Amino acid sequence: MTGDEPFITAVKPLVDAMGGELLPPDEAGPDDVVLAWAGADVVAVRLPQLADSLDHILAAMERRQGRPLADLDRKAKQEVVRMLEARGAFAVRHGVETVAGALGVSRFTVYNYLNREKHP
């Protein structure tokens, strides 16, 4: 697997954004996804565990904001919760606790933000 192959170069940003890992196809495990191009297996993708994905998403949000999520104002934190809910973050075990910790708020506050969206 060479990094200069156009297909690998094309999929790498997506795999990185998901927190996945690229592997040679012959090292793929049963849960990995093997990607083929022009009829040949080119690369395998090892997807992250859901909890790892949430951590990866939170880190990416912090990078985009340019500061820790805990430093955001209330309205910005509510927007973060909306985006995370849309991405299924709260379906992950301990998702609310993980998000609350990243935002520097209580679980109760996260639930309030979620309920505010359902009952404006």
User: With a threshold of 0.85, does the pTM exceed it?
Assistant: no
Query: What gap in Å lies between CA 72 and CA 104, rounded to an integer?
Result: 9
- Sorting pLDDT into bands at 50, 70 and 90, what band is 101? very high
Span 100-112, average pLDDT: 96
* Cβ-contact 8, 42 below 8 angstroms: yes
pLDDT at 3: 45
| pLDDT confidence bin for 117, thresholds 50/70/90 | low
Higher pLDDT, 54 or 23: 23
From residue 50, give the alpha-carbon distance in Å to each of 9, 60, 86, 90.
25, 15, 15, 11
pLDDT of 114 strictly over 50: yes
